[in-house]
Structure 1
Amino acid sequence: TMMLAMSWFEDQQVDWIILETGMGGRLDATNICSPEICLITNIGLDHQQFLGDDRRTIANEKAGIIKPGIPVVVVEKDAETKNVFIDASSAKGAPLFWANSYDLPSDLKGSYQKHNINGAAAVFDLLFPESQSLWSLGFTRVRENTGFFGRWTPICESPRVVVDTGHNSAAFSFLVKQAAEECRGRQHWVLGAAADKDMGTVLQLLPKEASYYWTATSNNRTLSAEALSDIGSKFELNGAQYDNVNSALEAAKIAAEVDDLIIVAGSNFVVADLQL
């Protein structure tokens, strides 16, 4: 798929390509390319069976995209991971830049997006310093220009429904806080998951007083609604089980009152199954 994509980009004669690693970095297929710049976002615990059990080890895998002499921007500068990136960039003679706070307005929702915006802005600042007024404006039109969907995206009002592809504890630490800040009534969580995810670390973050709608997805990697419910019960999270996302969402809509908030999350597969 990587080579098919690169062939298509060449046929279309695109000006710029943004390549995202599939997982990790050190062993990823995107490493065949020599980029203009590299960007490493925040490090969370995910894919531990492949990348390692702690953030420092995972950071070392992520640092595998750093190339000799190529600038690299790192979004998060924290005590656990910063030396990994300092050492990796120094060893390869790659200029290292930590993303500053740009405080740019954006149409992207969710408090966590400020970190992503800072990383992207730092890249633009290095590549196009003379065009800051133009690319700054672009952040206010991300959804309009790209069709961006699935990160704290509202799809319905009264009751309000938002969808988010967040699927690990790092993402849910933001989602739980965001939901608490925005919800004026009761929270309703429509949740599905892939079978290979550690959902215990996710569900332990969720509020016990919320309503839950456990769902399977159409993907063959799905965790069954029953299995997800069993994990939730360990953390006193109670709800009904559904065999598809849309049935679960419909049940949540029926139960919700006007000031309630429905959050559909847990997996890319959950969001992909939505019939809008």
Structure 2
Amino acid sequence: MTIRPTGSDAILERLLSLHPKVIDLVLDRVHRLLEALDHPERAIPPAIHIAGTNGKGSTLAMLRAGLEGAGETCHAYTSPHLARFHERIRLAGEPIAEDELADLLAECEAANGSQPITFFEITTCAAFLAFARHRADWTLLEVGLGGRLDATNVIAPRLTIVTPVSMDHEAYLGDTIEKIAAEKAGILKPGTPCIVGPQDERALEVIEYRAARLGAPLQVHGQHWHVREEAGRLVFEDETGLMDLPAPRLIGHHQVLNAGMAVAALRALGRQRGAEAAMTCAEWPARLQRLTHGPLVEAAGPAELWLDGGHNPAAGAALAEALTRLPPRPLHLVCGMLRTKDAAGYMAPLAPVAERLHAVSIPDEANTLTAAETLAAATRAGLVADAAPSVAEAVAGIAAASPDARILICGSLYLAGHVLRANG
């Protein structure tokens, strides 16, 4: 018997059919629907808009923890979700309730009628409706794809943040770092300050050029602010002075840089009193996350089980660096990736630190690489690899052969979401 979805799941399923493409980067449809909804995007609490290739979600999580630590409330919009769609829309700190989500989606569906609109566009409009109807001090918005033509880029933000830009989504954003940076820098607004994370020089030139044309003041890593690890602490420094803070709760040197962007943003907002909470209270699942309970952990036995959703070459390099800082154990990767990603480019930095990669396909994901295709990419990247029928079988096999292993499930946020749902 087929179980039909109900509530918000049923509406979300219908919304997927409103446009033949998953991604179609124009803003006309969003503006049309927002006008029909009486422009909720103009009534949301002051917004902080975050674009970039890597680190957007982690930076947002630390910024949210910092603002909440300063006694303020935050709405937040992130994507994709891991286990449930409700994760994408947080109202004053809490995931949106099922009844309200269903009502908002139904309202957007009725206002849109049968006109073409992508899933991300109409659900972004639903998020704006929710944010406009609930009080909070801040709205934190993560760009879905790119920036200039992203559905979130219809607001007048109080502050923007551009995290590190690297190669990803070339089919939509362009085939050079300069073209991609131009799309990301599309969130900059006239006179609105922007925090700029560590950048390739070519990307930074593009960002600085757009900022100069718009009169958008920049706070650039390496020029206006600096961040470093020192004696197990985080040291942030800008023209205002030095801050000695706890190390970030999120693991990896790349999280030190993300923490720096969050602290720079808190400084720009006059909320630096929340900087310690930004370090110690942030939570962001599937970013080098240690799994400690559930059936997969039981299957791993004495082996460590970790999860990470990074999926491009820069994320692979950051992950490899972070793994070298953990106490040594034989590292086995269980990897599944989407067809749109540079699989070999992602895996290449991991080859020197991993003993073997076990390739899997991503369950219930039409755009997944097959296990055989992921295996071939791993071989091209210099990894010893084999294929496994499922994540659970890969984990059990590794644990049986190497009880002292560190098992890292990686390669895709969609795979990470499947793992979190399956693992309870």
Mapping for residues 80-95 of structure 1, pairs under 5 Å:
80-95=202-217
Which range moves more in the overlay, 8-17 or 37-46? 8-17
Residue 139 (structure 1) aligned with residue 279 (structure 2): yes
Verify: 1:154 aligned to 2:321, yes or no.
no
For residues 1-276 of structure 1, the aligned pairs below 5 Å read 1-99=123-221, 100-102=225-227, 103=234, 104-105=245-246, 106-128=248-270, 131-143=271-283, 148-156=284-292, 158-207=302-351, 210-218=355-363, 219-258=365-404, 260-274=405-419, 275-276=422-423
- The answer to whether the 8 A contact 1:188-1:256 is kept is no
The answer (yes or no) to whether the contact 2:168–2:312 under 8 Å persists in 1 is yes
Amino acid in structure 2 at the alignment position of 1:80:
R
Q: Runs of 5+ in structure 1 lacking a partner? A: none
Secondary structure of 2:127's aligned partner: helix
Shift of 1:183: 4.9
TM-score (norm 2): 0.60
CA contact (8 A) 2:254 2:318 kept: yes
| Aligned partner letter, 2:399 | K
Structure 1 counterpart of 2:291, which letter?
I
AA aligned to 1:13 is R
- Deviation (angstroms), 1:236: 4.1
Contact 1:43 1:58 in 2 (8 A): yes
CA shift in 2, pair 1:250/1:11, >3 Å: farther
Q: After the TM superposition, which of the residue ranges 13-22 and 96-105 deviates more from structure 2?
A: 96-105
Pick closer, same or farther for the CA change 1:189–1:183 going to 2, 3 Å.
farther
SS of the residue corresponding to residue 190 of structure 1 reads strand
Partner of 1:3: helix, strand, or coil? helix
Give how far 1:253 is off.
2.7
CA contact (8 A) 1:192 1:266 kept: yes
Give, in whole Å, the separation in 2 of the partners of 1:98 and 1:233.
39
Partner Cα separation in structure 1 for residue 134 and residue 398 of structure 2: 44
Contact 1:21 1:30 (C-alpha < 8 Å) held by counterparts: yes
CA distance change for structure 1 residues 136 and 213 in 2, over 3 Å: closer, same or farther? same
- Aligned amino acid, residue 238 of structure 1: V
Preserved contact between residue 165 and residue 200 of structure 2 (Cα < 8 Å)? no
What RMSD, in angstroms, separates the aligned Cα atoms of the two structures?
Answer: 1.8
Could you say if the C-alpha distance between residues 133 and 193 of structure 1 is closer, same or farther in structure 2, counting changes exceeding 3 Å?
same
Instruction: Return 5+ residue gaps in structure 2 as ranges.
Output: 1-122, 228-233, 235-244
- Listed one character per residue, the Cα deviations across residues 200-249 of structure 1 (whole Å, up to 9, x for unaligned) are 21222232661111011122221111111122223442333223323323
Residue 13 of structure 1, CA deviation: 2.2
Amino acid at match of 1:170: A
Report how far residue 11 of structure 1 moved: 2.0
CA distance in 2, matches of 1:13, 1:43: 33
Q: Runs in 1 of length 4+ with deviation above 4 angstroms?
A: none
SS of residue matched to 1:205: helix
Question: Hey, what's the Cα distance between the residues in 1 that align with 2:167 and 2:157?
Answer: 26
- Identical residues among aligned pairs (%): 28
* Cα separation, 2, equivalents of 1:257 and 1:160: 9
CA 183–212 in structure 1, closer or farther in 2 if over 3 Å, else same: farther
What is the CA–CA distance in structure 2 between the aligned matches of 1:86 and 1:204, rounded to whole Å?
A: 31
Q: Structure 1 length as normaliser, TM-score? A: 0.91
Aligned residues: 269
CA distance in structure 1 between the partners assigned to 2:312 and 2:199 by the alignment:
20
| 3-state SS, counterpart of residue 147 of structure 2 | coil
